[in-house]
Amino acid sequence: MVIAVYPGSFDPATYGHLDVIRRASVSFDKVVVGVLYNSTKSPLFSVEERVNILEKATKDIPNVVVKPFNGLSVNFARENNAQVIIRGLRAVTDFEYELQMAQTNRVLAPDIDTVFLTTSLEYAYLSSTIMKEVALFGGDLSKFAPPEITDAVKAKLYEEK
């Protein structure tokens, strides 16, 4: 049984993330999405909210589970008996950082491999940050995430004002 973890901030998830999760769920027996308690970024959604959002958005995929985590991705992988860490690659701008992370993780845990899934072209430009910026200025979010997520973004931004 090959288990993969997919760590990230997911603040909140977009169609880009959901596409990576769906595709990973085909190649791996189980995908554990890890939602990071991030001490350096100040997220729009709490980790519990981000987990909740992802659970709802992936409820139709039986071999996907969503969990919060803190600390190193390799430790999260070990705790979940995963052999693989999944990351998404959008453009060359992602590449340098992702390569450095993958190499660091290889030094820390040589038995765990990083697998990159290249983004589907229609989501190559998309990030949680872009979605939040468009939301801030009242733009149409329907191309970025499913309605339950975009509604949560709008409610959150509205509630914060």
Residues in contact with ligand ADP by CB under 6 A are 8-10, 14, 16-17, 20, 87-88, 90, 94, 119, 123, 126-128
Active site residue 90: yes
Point out which residues pair with 32 in neighbouring strands.
Answer: 5, 65
Specify the 3-state DSSP secondary structure of 7: strand
Taking CB positions, which residue lies at the least distance from ligand ADP?
Answer: 16
DSSP of 26-91: HHSSEEEEEEE--SSS--SS-HHHHHHHHHHHTTT-TTEEEEEE-S-HHHHHHHTT-SEEEEEE-S
Query: Is 106 designated active site?
Result: no
156 has catalytic annotation: no
Q: Considering the complex, what minimum distance in angstroms separates the CB of residue 90 from ligand ADP?
A: 5
Identify the active-site residue in 17, 30, 87, 132: 17
How near is the Cβ of 83 to ligand ADP at its closest, in Å? 18
Supply the residues annotated as catalytic.
Answer: 17, 41, 90, 128
